[in-house]
Amino acid sequence: MNIFRFAGDMTHLISILILLLKIYATKSCAGISLKTQELYALVFLTRYLDLFTDYVSLYNSVMKIVFIASSLAIVWCMRRHPLVRRSYDKDLDTFRHQYVVLACFVLALVLHERFTFQEVFWAFSIYLEAVAILPQLVLLQRSGNVDNLTGQYVLFLGAYRGLYIINWIYRYFTEDHFARWIACVSGLIQTALYADFFYYYYLSRIKQDTIMRL
Amino acid sequence: PLQQRPHDEL
């Protein structure tokens, strides 16, 4: 474990908690894509299949449970909470994410580290996390609503990606044979898509602020 | 071989 990865995990967790608290506090999820949040929950559920079989460290096991619980809590809030679910942009959040899930699964069947049940699902979760932001990006382009996507959320999400890339560079130079190419390449694609999301986020933010000022 | 190690990254 290095400080970059620890900080990356913390900023990732904080971004999820910021979103959960924002939805719970305002009892609104306007502008938030349920499909992206479902994909994130699926990412954690398929990546942490080794929760009960491989013990890496207490930190690792605790964080897996926290990520699964917090991502499911957001999905539950948006689907079941009587007040929150009313504000969901159902007719705008129409990205057909099932095709993305299928494409990632096929890719995982072809490209993985070992052809075992857990490894195929691990690769699937890595690919899926890279593209999970797409429904949110599409919804943001359509709705331009950044009310619930706070600046802090975007900031911590960006910090998570940046710190993980530094972590990979650090591990590449300090550990012999650090070769998690699937995670690194997919992570770079994910970061590029996040950069696109951040671009549209700030455009929407500026547009919203301008309208507010007029 | 090396890849037998469990994934240590979250």
B10/A9 touch (CB, cutoff 8 Å), yes or no: yes
Q: Does the CB of A180 have a partner CB in chain B at under 8 Å?
A: yes
In the prediction, which pLDDT does B2 show? 53
Q: Which candidate from A63, A114, A179 shows the least CB-CB separation from B10? A: A63
ipTM confidence: 0.86
Q: How confident is the model at residue A32 (pLDDT cuts 50, 70, 90)?
A: very high
Averaged pLDDT score across all residues of chain A? 96
Cα radius of gyration (chain A) = 17
CB-facing half-sphere around the CA of A16: CA atoms within 13 A: 23
Q: How far is CA A154 from the centre of its chain?
A: 11
Burial letters for A37-69: b for 16+ Cβ neighbours within 10 Å, e otherwise?
bbbbbbbbbbbbebeeeeebeeebbebbebbbe
**Separation of alpha carbons A108 and A86, rounded Å:** 36
